[in-house]
Amino acid sequence: MRISTGPLLFIDNYRFPSEIDWMEDDSRVYIAEDWDIVRDYDEFVNYIDATGVPSVVSFGYKLSKNKTGYNCAEYLIEYCIRYDVMPPVQLCHSKHKSGKKKINVLWDKFINILFKPKSIY
């Protein structure tokens, strides 16, 4: 499995990384680092297809009427599986509680399956 050494990617329809100050321990990374920013699902897909998997991704939830950060997470998971690439460090800066939970649960399930210990028996 290949490990990504790509950029940091911030997905949000209007916020900028420097505005994220509610993430407790993770807030510093939003100020201290340079982020690439995408504003919607289509821009996200184009970015991933052109650039590959970032080293860190931070999901917002509401992106448009039809697509959310959850859809972006699904696409990224499928991409990592298809191209056998290690998934990035995942953050979710969304203030949308149920959307944030959906993204985190999806991502946690993926990571748990990916890194589940293999039985030798």
Residue 25 is part of a domain; what is its CATH number?
A: 3.40.50
3-state SS record for 14-26:
CCCHHHCCCCHHH
Residue 3 within any structural domain of the chain: no
Q: Compute the average pLDDT of residues 83-90.
A: 92
Residue 53 within any structural domain of the chain: yes
Residue 120 within any structural domain of the chain: no
Domain count, the chain: 1
Residue 78 within any structural domain of the chain: yes
| 0.85 exceeded by pTM | yes
* Domain hosting residue 14, numbered range: 8-114
pLDDT top residue among 67 and 117: 67
Residue 35 within any structural domain of the chain: yes
pLDDT at 118: 59
Helix, strand, coil percentages in the chain from 3-state DSSP, rounded to 5: 45, 15, 40
Q: What is the mean pLDDT of the chain?
A: 88
pLDDT at 87 over 90: yes
Query: 13: part of which helix (H) or strand (E)?
Result: none
